[in-house]
Structure 1
Amino acid sequence: MGPYRNHATDFMLNRTWCFSRSGLFAAALLTLASATPATADETCSSPYLARIEGQEEFVYVWTLGEEGLGDGSDKLVTIDVKPGSPTYGKVIHTHSLGSRNEAHHGGFTDDRRQLWLSGLESSRIFIYDVHTDPAKPKFVKSIDDLVEKSGGALGPHGVYALPGRVLIPCLSNAQDKTGRTALVEYTNDAQYITTHWIPSPRDMRGVENAELADGYGYDARVLPRKNVLLTTSFTGLDNYMTAFPKVAADPEAMKRFGGTMVQWDFHTRQPKKVFAVPGAPLEIRWAWGEKHNYAFTATALTSKIWLFYEDEKGNWQAKEVAHVGDPKGGVIPVDISLSADDKTLFVDSFADGTCRAYDVSNPHHPMLIHENQIGRQLNMVSQSWDGKRLYFSSSLLAKWDKEGTANEQFVKGFTWDGRQLTKKFELDFTELKLGRPHHMLFGSTKVGN
């Protein structure tokens, strides 16, 4: 089976929703103009994902196991976030894998029946049923042969829903453990489909600006109505499984970080153009507005906000639009979240533990409007569709987290009133002996179909 090629569906507006169990799907359009305040869900999710109706009820937390803490294994932890619930802000369910895999990111299948979670060190994918009982996700099976099936792609970063299948961007390769890597596709029933290697000096793939290609990968996101797939770049297993102080002290290791973004033809999965974006560009956040043809990313090592946009001639460009802070002073952007109205960009910085909110009504000129130190270290942020709630987690990588008392491991819930963040609950994952909380995703008993 080749790349998905339903052009008519792909060119629907960015708000297209597709629901699939066996490769067949139905689509419905919903633009921001018709969205209601009752609509929730995460703002950074795939446009092909079945949506939550009303407010999120659960936050699923993919959690790294820590030796000597509890059972030491990776876990999927479920937090109750239903307003008025007697267990609001509390852990109501956990499932332990019985192993440590460097739990990292994950994502749902397009029908939202399954949650796929990745292990950066083991290259395993863990699949949960979140449909039968959303409050108590049930482990179904794991994919243990991704490296073999993909032809050597290593370190699955996360999972991104496409119609009837998932896209898995990887971070490394089995040959040299550097950041040269690929995108891998599987069906919703966990059958391998194909591998797309990212343009590199040894395989330039005929792309524009081929001389910039480094082959590195990290995030992958789609703007269907423009037929654009965008990827960013990070580093390989040789770096991310080494203690960061050691990496930072090694000039050769510091050369092994990505500094590119790649524009792809989404329908054909063919790379088209490479852009120089120095300093390890991480998460991609496409704007949701039906005429907003742009996306944001942030660079961890240079502490910049970058804009990827379509110019007046229909060509795609990338440019730096804001300087977040001094990386040497601890301002290291690691995650971003764009509000559903495309007006506010939240930027999490790991070393100083601070979330910064920017007014991006003019995406070419972000304006800082709020700062809040969430904790002594900070990683992920997940934002509700109505823009009223944000959730934060702490762990970056097991060997990159801070040490001693600065190694805070938490999940915190905040409200946002357009001016400031206000904390509503806090969970200490070390005190609870759960591990190091990383990626967060929303769950609900009310999912559209």
Structure 2
Amino acid sequence: MKRNLFLRRIACWCSALALLAPLAAPADETCNSPYMANLITGQEDYVHVWTLGVAGMGDGNDKLVTVDVNPRSGQYGKVIGSVAVPGRGEAHHMGFTDDRKYLWAGRLEDNKIFVFDVGTDPAKPRLVKTIGDVAQKTGFAGPHTFYALPGRMLLGFLSNAADAGGVTGMAVYNNRGDFVARYPMPVGKSAAGDGDGYNYDLAVNPQKNALLTSSFTGLNNYMSELGQLIKNPEAMKRFGNTMVLWDLKAMKPKKVFNTPGAPLEIRWSLREGDNWAISASALSSKLWLVQQDGGGEWQARDVGNIGDPAKTPLPVDISLSADGRRLWVNTFMDGKTRLFDLSNPRAPAQIYEKTTGKHVNMVSQSWDGKRVYITTSLLSKWDLDNDDQFLKLYSWDGKELKEQWKIDFYREKLGRPHHMKFTAEAHRVGAPKLAAAH
């Protein structure tokens, strides 16, 4: 009886998702879910930075750091607050709920998820819930990606809870933080193709009823020292080489793509009429395009290099412009930020590059493309030159990145800055575009 009730609830959720899909509209950072209700098209007011704690530095805890980024503010470019969470657990990525009122932030090492209220007062986030039984409920470990669905949160994981290896899956929670369902990644031969079971990022194109997932590596590699990992031939074999296209409404894999080199972040073009997504592979330093061909069949292809692959620049994050024509790419090992022209996504062309740090990780641009934010920390055991941990803001005038300010997180005794999310005061956020199905 309980099982039948559970299945009916899943069916209702899928029906709601199907009805809402055609109404979806873009969010301000193109990494955000198109189901998010509010759009910041102008100047963002705050940047929230999910930050790794460092033993002996300040309170040593992981924390959500809030920075005032409105140039009209007297605190422009300053840290205005932080919310510490107990201990250190490899703070990594975050994601908004569909109503943009709550920010879910995950830790890879202990599988905890922290839910912050950023809607009541975005200048002063509050920790309102901690979800500590994720591995037990889902069977997966290393919560990595948090992606809003109507009334739900779709989570992508790096590992399974049994052996911390790369075979893993996804899970759905409701916005209250209750576990709803789990979806293993395809492994071995199937009607969809030959799957390796790996997962990293995920992104949705509602108009195409398409969920796309990528792959990287499991927690065993994530939590190893970078120098030791590179010297371990067996460990270097344990990286994903696939992307998977899913039927979003049915939550079933439709096609497995062979994409060697461990593809990372996925960005769908939001430009009207476009039918493609782009990703970057970490180990092979390639740009991968997933696009429908003339017959409507989805295909994946290597469309170009990022830097010199022989030097392993290690692409780590990408940010696609709102019009789908420009792609920022950060490479960790050489500390460079590159810009690609995607006017023809099948033939990306690098048009700019700049060294923005000793090593850089995340890159986020504003909706209008005029501001580019960069942070440094990748993983606690992979970071290089750990005295250089910062958040920087650059302006982009179409020709040059110009540094506006830099916050030294070590000098501020905050830790290592990783993922970023934008918020704005309520009166400056666009009207809701999508009703949430709670």
TM-score band, normalised by the shorter chain?
over 0.9
Alignment of 1:35-434 (within 5 A): 41-53=28-40, 54-150=42-138, 152-201=139-188, 204=189, 206-210=190-194, 213-403=195-385, 407-434=387-414
Unaligned runs of at least 5 residues, structure 2: 1-8, 433-438
Q: Which amino acid aligns with 1:248?
A: I
Q: Alpha-carbon deviation of 1:51?
A: 2.1
Q: Distance in 1 between matches of 2:157 and 2:324?
A: 28
8 Å CA contact 1:380–1:394 kept in 2: the answer is yes
Identity %: 51
8 Å CA contact 1:104–1:158 kept in 2: the answer is no
Q: Distance in 2 between matches of 1:236 and 1:335?
A: 18
SS in structure 1 of the partner of residue 227 of structure 2 = helix
SS in structure 2 of the partner of residue 55 of structure 1 = coil
8 Å CA contact 1:172–1:179 kept in 2: the answer is yes
* Residue 435 of structure 2: aligned partner: none
Unaligned runs of at least 5 residues, structure 1: 18-40
SS in structure 2 of the partner of residue 247 of structure 1 = helix
Q: Alpha-carbon deviation of 1:244?
A: 1.1
Q: Distance in 1 between matches of 2:39 and 2:258?
A: 37
- Greater CA deviation, 154-163 or 53-62? 53-62
8 Å CA contact 2:332–2:359 kept in 1: the answer is yes
SS in structure 1 of the partner of residue 137 of structure 2 = helix
SS in structure 2 of the partner of residue 252 of structure 1 = helix
Q: TM-score, normalised by structure 2?
A: 0.93
Q: Alpha-carbon deviation of 1:289?
A: 1.2
Q: Distance in 2 between matches of 1:148 and 1:234?
A: 23
1:12 to 22, 26, 31: 22
Deviations 1:82-111 (A, max 9, x none): 122111111001011121010000101000
SS in structure 2 of the partner of residue 12 of structure 1 = helix
8 Å CA contact 1:330–1:350 kept in 2: the answer is no
Q: Alpha-carbon deviation of 1:7?
A: 5.7
Q: Distance in 2 between matches of 1:285 and 1:354?
A: 20
* Residue 422 of structure 2: aligned partner: 442
Q: Alpha-carbon deviation of 1:52?
A: 3.6
8 Å CA contact 1:65–1:72 kept in 2: the answer is yes
8 Å CA contact 1:5–1:268 kept in 2: the answer is no
8 Å CA contact 1:14–1:290 kept in 2: the answer is no
Q: Alpha-carbon deviation of 1:419?
A: 1.8
Q: TM-score, normalised by structure 1?
A: 0.91
Cα 1:250/1:115, change in 2 over 3 Å: same
Q: Distance in 2 between matches of 1:14 and 1:133?
A: 26
Q: Alpha-carbon deviation of 1:317?
A: 0.5
Q: Distance in 2 between matches of 1:396 and 1:16?
A: 27
- Greater CA deviation, 219-228 or 81-90? 81-90
- RMSD between aligned alpha carbons? 1.4
- Greater CA deviation, 432-441 or 8-17? 8-17
Q: Distance in 2 between matches of 1:16 and 1:4?
A: 21
When the two structures are aligned, how many residues end up with a matched partner? 418
SS in structure 1 of the partner of residue 263 of structure 2 = coil
SS in structure 1 of the partner of residue 196 of structure 2 = coil
Q: Alpha-carbon deviation of 1:208?
A: 2.4
8 Å CA contact 1:10–1:227 kept in 2: the answer is no
SS in structure 2 of the partner of residue 258 of structure 1 = coil
Cα 1:11/1:174, change in 2 over 3 Å: closer
Q: Which amino acid aligns with 2:153?
A: V
8 Å CA contact 1:309–1:318 kept in 2: the answer is yes
Q: Distance in 2 between matches of 1:265 and 1:427?
A: 42
8 Å CA contact 1:14–1:288 kept in 2: the answer is no
Q: Distance in 2 between matches of 1:260 and 1:92?
A: 41
Q: Which amino acid aligns with 2:25?
A: R
SS in structure 2 of the partner of residue 4 of structure 1 = helix
